Chain A
Amino acid sequence: MPASRPHIVVEDLRIGWGNRVLMEHVSFGVERGTTLAILGGSGSGKSTLLRYLIGLEQPMAGRIDIDGVGAPHVYSGVPPFGVLFQSGALFSSLTLAQNLALPLTTWTSVRGPLVEDFVQAKLDLVGLGAFAGHLPGEISGGMKKRAGIARAMMIEPDLLFLDEPSAGLDPISAVELDNLIVTLSRNLGITVVVVTHELPSIFLIADDCIVLDKEAKGIVARGDPRRLRDESAIPFVHNFFARSSPSASAAGGR
């Protein structure tokens, strides 16, 4: 496998429905083993872009290529990536342990007590070891998210898509989760695509980022988030990273 080919290639993507175009001319690549953050204001289409990347919807135009296999809308065999949906998307009639066991027993030959060991270990990694027998309805939103991440990692994928992983988590859990992502990324070479707004997270985990804007209908900035924060001349991008709002400062704020 040529090591130089990017893990994900997106070329001239156009996303929309009917006459409405949400974004167009979206092109970017994600190198293997790096972490890309997809940033933007609310309504800019970050989570929507993620849905297209994982193949849940078909774009109006353009190309998405994951691992040289082509468009991800045809799944046959082991899913090539793990996905965390915004609220965890756990199956509400199964316990956490059953939720996590499902990808394992479906796509691998692992059976019996080994399944429990793997499930328990992944839950321990996200700090939910004591809740394996709980139903999703019995745990908090942040815990559901963490369980969702554990489930996304069950088949040891080399690509993870995470939709707002640390939103709604307390600061300690959030930083533990970020550290976990960094560890997995650096030590296992997992490629991670994260949709997030959390600035401390972005600076910690992201190697690269793209900033979407609803009005511009596409990518307005890209690159190393630290460099963008320090050097960007675009007001929207500067305000985003400096966590400042033009109206707040105009009203004589701090």
Chain B
Amino acid sequence: MGCDQSVVAVRTEADGERARLVPAGTFDLAHASAVVRAVEQAERNLISNGDVDLHLSALERIDGSGALVLARLIDRLEARGHRTRLIGDDNSNAVRLITLYRERAADARPKPTPRIGPLARFGVVTAALPGTVTSALDFLGQAAAAVPRAFLSPRSVDWSSLPRLMQAIGADALPVTSAANLLVGLIIGFLGVAQLRRLGAVVYVPELVVVAHFRELGPLVTAIIVAGRSGAGLASELATMQVSEEIDALRSMGFHPVSWLVVPRCLALVITLPLLTWIGDALALGGGLLATSAITDLTPRAYVLGTAETITGAHFLDGMIKTPFLGLIIGLIACGQGLAARGGAAAVGERTTTAVVLAIFGVIVISAVFSTLFTLLGI
């Protein structure tokens, strides 16, 4: 912004015992730096200790910023003991503006926020930990209490939202989870062929696909996708409701937010995740078929026969039994995070991110727990 320096100046003149300051030129935001420099220069040039007159007749243009700088100048002069006078009979606008900025200068100044070092920051997070754990347990308690309440007073739950939730969480996720499961089946197929071909045991690949996918990878991959998709969706929906006072409104009308909102969402997840996993399992078999047909001499018929021989209820059920629990953990984490949001748009973003991360991690933890359990029980 090229401003002509000579356009902005504050002339200092002596008038007997009084000093006269004459700001001249354009005292506006575009010339703010020049204005400040001119005013500082004038202050330094001021030698007398007597009264000061500020003449405003030479001002070509003044706006809020210029008025502010002159107002602060007068404040500083008066603080140093000079008596000041504003002379602007032909520029009453400027006089009123400068007076406005002087009048409205508040005595209260905000306290500067102390900077905290990394150690103190760590301390703050640790100190907040018990509170976080307590509120998490509190939420779990409320969720547990909501289950009998759903039976005893069914009107405490928003059942009418269940179809739409199942559509959004289940049906809308089907393309993504199906494609993912198909590709994972393909990957297991390629992996299996690569390893078993060395032993001449390619004929065991179908069994590998069944066992690996049905028992572990199918539920895990499907749950991770749903955790990302619906975890984000549910957390951001509830967080936005929280910050726009909708949750408060529900409570003021006698609803329990956990019963009304969280029960249908968890139920939708518990119902749809097994279905998504089931369909995913079927598609994974197709993926394995593609893989073996592409790179081995194993005929599709042989693959299908191999699969049919090894597919057992046990493999299928051992995988499926995890899915309602995976759905539940996604629901509880996403809804819990959403309801814990405080603040504005930034809080919604934070809670959504935390929900997705925790939900994915939770899904992996639950899968690991089940795997360990089944191995120990010899199932």
Contacts and interface: CB of A to CB of B under 8 A. Distances in A.
> Are A and B bound to each other?
yes
Contacts of A129: 105-106, 108-110
B106 A133 contact: no
A153 B110 contact: no
A114 B110 contact: no
B112 A125 contact: no
Interface stretch (A116-124, A214-222, A224-232): A116-124
A188 interface: yes
Interface in B309-346: 342-346
B250 to A, nearest CB: 20
A187 B97 contact: yes
A108 B29 CA distance: 8
Contacts of A122: 64
Nearest to B95: A187
A68 B100 CA distance: 32
A93 interface: yes
Given A121-B64, A129-B109, A187-B97, 15 more contacts: A109-B1, A110-B33, A114-B36, A118-B65, A122-B64, A124-B101, A127-B106, A129-B108, A130-B109, A130-B110, A132-B110, A133-B110, A156-B64, A187-B93, A187-B94
B32 A136 contact: no
A206 to B, nearest CB: 20
Helix, strand, loop or mixed for chain A's interface? Answer: helix
Given A125-B101, A136-B344, A188-B97, A153 B64 contact: yes
B315 to A, nearest CB: 49
A137 B36 CA distance: 34
A155 B344 CA distance: 26
A156 B344 contact: no
A156 to B, nearest CB: 4
A203 interface: no
A183 interface: yes
**Size category, B interface:** 20 to 34
Contacts of B72: 117
Contacts of B113: 133
Contact of A92 (B93, B104, B109, B345): B345
B85 interface: no
B216 interface: no
B96 interface: yes
B237 interface: no
Nearest to A137: B343
A78 to B, nearest CB: 9
Interface string B16-48: 000000000000111011001000000000000
A28 interface: no
B186 interface: no
A102 interface: no
A134 B64 CA distance: 24
Given A109-B1, A125-B100, A133-B113, A188 B63 contact: yes
Interface in A140-162: 153, 155-156
Interface string A68-96: 00000000000000000000000011000
Nearest to B96: A187
Contacts of B105: 121, 124, 129
B184 interface: no
A52 interface: no
B68 interface: yes
Contacts of A127: 104, 106
B111 interface: yes
Contacts of A187: 93-94, 96-97, 100
B124 to A, nearest CB: 17
Contacts of A240: none
Interface in A35-50: none
